[in-house]
A and B are shown apart, each in its own frame.
Chain A
Amino acid sequence: MKFFIDNLPIIFPYDRIYPEQYAYMCDLKRTLDATGHCVLEMPSGTGKTVSLLSLIVSYQQFFPTRRKLIYCSRTVPEIEKALAELKRLMEYRLSCAETEEQKEKERNFTGLGLTSRKNLCINPEVAREKKGKVVDAKCRDLTNSVACEKGRANPGSVELCDWHENLGKMEPGQLIPTGIFTLADVLQYGHDNRICPYFAVRRMMPFVDVIIYSFHYLLDPKVAEQVSKEMSKDAIVVFDEAHNIDNVCIESLSIDLTRPMLDAASRNVTRLGEKIEEVKATDAAKLQDEYAKLVEGLQESLEPDNDTDDYMANPLLPDDLLQEAVPGNIRKAEHFVAFLKRFVEYLKTRMRVLHVVAETPLSFLQHLKDITYIERRPLRFCAERLQSLIRTLEITRLDEYSGLQKVAAFATLVATYEKGFLLILEPYETDNATVPNPVFHFTCLDPSLAIKPVFERFSSVVITSGTISPLDMYPKMLQFTPVIQETYPMTLTRNAFLPLVITRGSDQVAISSRFEVRNDPAVVRNFGSILIEYSKIVPDGIVAFFPSYLYMESIVAAWNDMGILNEVWKHKLIFVETPDANETSIALENYRRACDNGRGAVLLSVARGKVSEGIDFDHNYGRAVIMFGVPYQYTESRILKARLEYLRDAYRIRESEFLGFDAMRNAAQCVGRVLRGKTDWGLMIFADKRFARADKRAKLPKWINQYITETASNLSTDMALTLSKLFMRTISQNPDENQTGISLWTLQDIEKAQAKQRELALENGKHNKEDDDYGDGGISDSALMDLDMDD
């Protein structure tokens, strides 16, 4: 369908539209017009991605500036789905285009997705490696500029990658034809044309209209520096599924050091030393050259000639990039190696301590200076200096140097930030462990640090998800001011989902995953009987989530011994999430087969785990989701404690408030994945007595909370079963044919709503006409829109 929002013609690739989608698109447009940021929560399964893409593509195609869209998602399945949505949208737009000129315009629209070398490599020699790090290293060896130069000058002397070479022979900007390519399409295209998909996408990035990749590519400075730095400032940035964005921010600036890592690092240092001696003997000029460059300053020396030379990334944010010259005491290669050696030894000594230590970066630096005379300034340049050295020495198989890279990144970070970070040394894994296994955590406490450059650089940042309540938490944690902050209720003509809170078993024993009672046999049995009973009455798929891996693994064993799973086997197959990702994927695929086949299956997995992120359980893949317990974080974790303390001091967010918020957003995320579309249906079962409390429920997204009735908020298992049966009987009737007009809009409904809105606006306009202007004396939006740009 085609309609207008203000003057903007929107092409939406369906015949109908949900009112939520329309409202969402209106708000999105306002954000883009105002060139500001926004936080939008739209109920899961109501077509958020398609509305978003539909509006933004319409916007891009209408205005001549063609602002680029950077669309970030969490997981590869989600990236692939977004690409597929985009592809479908563009096909629809093409079919709608009237003139040949318009058609040409739609055909020229290009969208690509980027993921790692491991996922995109098609060189069989490299792709067969299992670890992403090894793939990266091998790929660099075959594609870096020095190797390429040598190989091209003297064919056969150095092994090169044919796929990458073929790419070099092509016209830049024409590596991939226009249009939308999903990751699978790009791989296929690479196979067919014998070109490297990874570099094709990377080099096409300046030319595309839409790029879809993971959060990390924009938030993690190590990656962002290589991948995203050429993005223009007027690009539209979207963080979809952004409910965990604060965690991604924190992760991208945190580092762990362990004993094995330090051991590897000292071996690396020795090898570097040997290498330097070697080079000195054969090609001393090289080192001299490097020294001269370093005197001039880092920036020029590090400007890479092309994108293949990303040896090692700098963990610093672009803001802090150093413009000054490298300090004298680490300019010389052998001095730098000695410097590194001293630092690694210091860290090793620190690790020998057998009690927990928590200190700020400043106190760490002070102690470091007292013991080893290492200053803060050279430490800051550690990562950069190492990068330069590795380049000079032409070191291959970089994955073997990962220990040293970690140490260097740690050194740079610790010497750069004073606030918002903490160092925690934990000598033992658990409180009652006897064998020390020390870990040095360098942990970022402030999520706003990593995302700050994004907000500063890009004019429009959209943060959106199906479950991002309470909305005001995100601007607070990420330190930005949104122009629009909105959550949409779900309009339904009949209740498509039934949220139930089970607080006690049929024997009236209260159920809870609270640490004190979670292993109580009565609780375990009651949890088990919920699973048994639901596996009896629910068709096809049931997904059950546990608050942690530890709890899931112990309860699965306990259920097996109690004979509970034997009962479940009678009705459904059982699949369980395992530590291995590939193994779990295969289990997931089999789970889906069992659901398609009608055999039915139960999937046991973990909230915040691998499966809970990015896998949808719509339609028959999830007729019921059971949340066993409240997915609180492990409050004994020292890192979490430090973070809570920081949030309290810096942003006045109370500990309990944050913990509750975090648990509920994860619970909502788990149950929210059952729906896609309004004819889909599912049960959402919250099994813990703590869900009954009003303050907990208030943290759920509005669209879920509004359907929890007072009676359904405190049920025993048998009562919940009765309600569920009743619900399934009603929902299995033919859907009420006439949703249109209420929860489903046709073009006429949109026009009606718009007419109404205009009337309202007219009324309001009479009162406050002046408010519409931004007051900055610039050209107003409507003037811009009316301007004829073709001349």
Chain B
Amino acid sequence: MPTTVCTAKASCKKLPGLLELTNTHLQWTQDGNKAPSIRVPYADASSLFCSKEGAAQVKLKLGLVGDDAEHYFTFTSMPQTLALAEREKFKQELTAIIGRNRGVIDSPQKPGPTPIKSSTSLPVTASGTTGAQRTGLALGRPSVSRATSVSSDRRATPVITGADPASEFALRKKVLLANPELGALHKDLVMTGQITEAEFWDGREHLILAQAAAENQKKGKPGQIVDPRPETVEGGEIKILITPQLVLDIFDEYPIVKKAYSENVPSKLSQAEFWKRYFQSKLFHAHRASIRSSAAQHVVKDDPIFDKYLEKDDDELEPRKPRNENVTAFVDLLATMEDHGETGNEKDITMQAGRQKAALPLIRKFNEHSERLLNSALGDIPAAKRRRLDHGEDGLAEIVIDDLQDPESSDGIPLDMQDRQRYFEGRMAGVGGSNSDPSKPHDPKLALQALRAGVQGWDARLAELKVERKPGDSAFVYMTQNVMNRLNVRSQKNDIPPGVFKDMIACQTATDEFLRQFWSAVYPPLGDLQVASQATPAQRAAKAARMIGYISATPEKVQKLIRAGEMHGCPPKKIETAMKPVLDAVNQAIKFHKMKTGGKA
């Protein structure tokens, strides 16, 4: 039996169903049917297309090798973001598979375009954040910075589960999608009604929390600087691929372009024309700000519209926009420069900063870009306030050497004891009673004598030492056996039929789950974490009884497994051994339950 990599609700030809990706096939089963109606082996998948992000329906198209037939799947999970996430998961897996197929089949066709159209499948960065906001916990909390949002999550722990059923459901679904094994277990137990959804998740809240935290984690912007590099295509023409993301990035990086855009489009220029002219203008080449731009100078045309927005090159020794904010005293370089009048001869030419004028705008662009990225992640608070928040009033942390502080010296709490003096006096008296005279120092000579007497005749005594035969032999036999056992395990082949093996695993995980439920019902709840979902003792007893009912069925199931194994030619002993720990655990639970109920009765 193949294992499932991922599953999702998806419709095919307008019929609702379940799309699954196993480790060999992609299959789709119509709701209500048992057998999948579409099964595509991995080797047959040849191409993959996805609908645009933000389209009305979340679709996926799979093309097959040597077959014109294509399969369309529409992801129907609600809300749509969940469908998107599912689709993303399938896309990832299938892309990898198709990639492998291509490698294997060394296709005679030319290496065509990548299976995924870049323009459609480019993940728009904004989706990460908006998605999180929509599916996220909707607590209406503005996530200022990563650190604060995480910490508040933790505090809100018990509230999250059960605050918003819809979003929690989505989270659960994602957790199950991400862990196929857990998903299988969920299918076996919850969907068959053996245990309830709530019971299943009881004790697994951390998975949901982790998922929620992961979703709420604000992703920083990628660090790369916007630098559209034109590719030359045949005919000497230059092509720059404009994606919505690129446009956003350019606007973000160069506000002046945004200004130009808002002033000129669509009144004077069409959108396409705007970009065409922009990439040919001096403005663009000024923005690229590299040594390359000087080579490109002759291609650049004068452009009446864009040249208006041209700024002076930022290549003076002082920046074009002087910044007057104060910096921390410990990094203040200006103060050093102004600390004393200028003296000495000028520096030699290699040490005069800013002689490479062309590099200066570039260097400034780097600093600005880095600062912008930092502010986008940390928020743009004024420097003075930020420093207060970060370091407190004084910068002592910068000068203190931590490892010279004695870590233990501060940790102790003096024991506040009543009648301390009497206590110690009492002890002194007691000690004094047992020992003749504590104030009298030990006589080293006496001690040495005693020691010498103790070791006298050690050689004779050593010779008398005899090891008993019987325990020695038994130890030796035990060791040999141990080695043999290990050897046996090593040399054994894994020859349990795969079907039976899978059933065994299923049986074991199910029993584990029952046991977990049982013991958690029996034992007092952990800490005060889930105050909200606290069950009454009666409920817990009922649950334990129900679980023990399932658990007592396990030996029977094991017997069935053994019989099934026999049919496939597997020695029953083997399966028995394999299932023994499970049975032991089951027996333990039953015994405990009997004892407890018996005690009550």
Contacts and interface: CB of A to CB of B under 8 A. Distances in A.
Interface of A: 14-18, 47, 50, 74-77, 80-81, 84-85, 88, 115-116, 118-119, 132-133, 182-184, 214, 216-217, 220, 222-223, 250-252, 254-256, 429-430, 439, 441-443, 547-551, 553-554, 556-558, 560-561, 565-566, 569-594, 596-597, 599, 601, 606, 608-611, 613-616, 633-634, 636-637, 639-640, 676-679, 739, 744, 746
B370 interface: yes
B339 A251 contact: no
Q: Which of B327, B336, B356, B396 has the most CB atoms of chain A within a 10 A radius of its CB?
A: B336
A634 B350 contact: yes
Contacts of A678: 403
B318 A557 contact: no
B398 A252 contact: no
B340 interface: yes
A194 B377 CA distance: 40
Given A557-B362, A561-B290, A586-B327, A679 B402 contact: yes
24 contacts: A88-B399, A119-B338, A183-B329, A214-B339, A220-B343, A251-B345, A550-B352, A560-B290, A561-B292, A570-B223, A575-B367, A576-B367, A580-B318, A582-B327, A583-B323, A588-B331, A599-B374, A606-B351, A606-B353, A614-B336, A615-B331, A634-B349, A676-B401, A678-B403
Contacts of B396: 84, 88
B337 to A, nearest CB: 5
Given A254-B345, A679-B402, A548 B359 contact: no
Contact of A576 (B322, B343, B344, B363): B363
Interface residues of B, number: 73
B383 interface: yes
Contacts of A214: 336, 339-340
Contact of B366 (A17, A74, A85, A574): A574
Contacts of A739: 403
A252 B322 CA distance: 30
B344 A252 contact: yes
B327 to A, nearest CB: 4
A585 B349 contact: no
Interface stretch (B64-72, B404-412, B481-489): B404-412
B292 A578 contact: no
A31 B333 CA distance: 33
Nearest to A219: B343
B521 to A, nearest CB: 40
B331 A576 contact: no
Given A554-B359, A566-B224, 19 more contacts: A15-B409, A16-B406, A47-B404, A77-B335, A80-B329, A119-B339, A560-B362, A573-B374, A578-B319, A579-B353, A581-B333, A582-B333, A583-B367, A585-B333, A588-B333, A590-B370, A608-B351, A640-B348, A744-B404
Given A76-B329, A222-B341, A576-B366, A430 B349 contact: yes
B290 A256 contact: no
Contacts of B329: 76-77, 80, 182-184
Interface of B: 220, 222-225, 227, 290-292, 317-319, 322-323, 325, 327-341, 343-346, 348-356, 358-360, 362-364, 366-367, 370-371, 373-374, 377-378, 383, 386, 390, 394-396, 398-406, 409
B599 to A, nearest CB: 48
B404 A599 contact: no
Contacts of B364: 578, 583
Q: Which of B291, B319, B349, B367 has the most CB atoms of chain A within a 10 A radius of its CB?
A: B367
Nearest to A677: B401
Contact of B338 (A132, A549, A571, A588): A132
Contacts of A606: 351, 353
Nearest to A128: B324
Contacts of B340: 116, 214, 216-217, 220, 223
Nearest to B387: A589
A65 B512 CA distance: 82
A394 to B, nearest CB: 22
Contacts of A614: 336
A14 B292 contact: no
Nearest to B352: A549
B341 A133 contact: yes
A583 B316 CA distance: 12
Q: Which of B291, B355, B358, B366 has the most CB atoms of chain A within a 10 A radius of its CB?
A: B366
B313 to A, nearest CB: 14
A617 to B, nearest CB: 11
A260 B290 CA distance: 33
Contact of A549 (B225, B351, B403): B351
Given A583-B319, A590-B374, A739-B403, A556 B350 contact: no
Contact of A578 (B353, B358, B405): B353
A119 to B, nearest CB: 5
A267 B335 CA distance: 31
B71 to A, nearest CB: 36
Contact of B378 (A251, A597, A608): A597
A391 B356 CA distance: 44
Nearest to B322: A582
B350 A585 contact: no
B225 A569 contact: yes
B360 A579 contact: yes
A679 B402 CA distance: 8
A47 B399 CA distance: 9
Given A184-B329, A573-B373, A594-B370, A119 B335 contact: yes
A586 B355 contact: no
Given A577-B353, A589-B327, A611 B333 contact: yes
A553 B360 contact: yes
Nearest to A12: B404
B13 to A, nearest CB: 43
Contact of B401 (A14, A587, A640): A14
A548 B351 contact: yes
A17 B404 contact: yes
A254 B363 contact: no
A549 to B, nearest CB: 4
B408 to A, nearest CB: 9
A553 B401 CA distance: 36
Contacts of B339: 75-76, 115-116, 119, 214, 216
A443 B346 CA distance: 10
A116 B338 contact: yes
Contacts of A15: 404-406, 409
Q: Which of A570, A574, A746 has the most CB atoms of chain B within a 10 A radius of its CB?
A: A574
Contact of A581 (B337, B367, B370, B400): B337
Nearest to B400: A88
Contacts of A430: 349
Contact of B359 (A251, A553, A571): A553
A569 B372 CA distance: 13
Contact of B367 (A548, A587, A597): A587
Q: Which of B330, B360, B374, B395 has the most CB atoms of chain A within a 10 A radius of its CB?
A: B330
A419 B432 CA distance: 86
B291 A557 contact: yes
CB-CB nearest 8 A-B residue pairs = A251-B344, A15-B406, A579-B354, A553-B356, A579-B353, A14-B404, A76-B335, A548-B350
Contacts of B332: 76-77, 585
A608 B225 CA distance: 29
A76 B336 contact: yes
Nearest to A315: B343
A72 B129 CA distance: 53
A84 B432 CA distance: 54
A234 B352 CA distance: 41
Q: Which of B334, B364, B396 has the most CB atoms of chain A within a 10 A radius of its CB?
A: B334
B222 A609 contact: no
A133 B349 CA distance: 25
B223 A572 contact: yes
Given A16-B406, A84-B396, A557-B358, A77 B336 contact: yes
A549 B355 contact: yes
Nearest to A433: B349
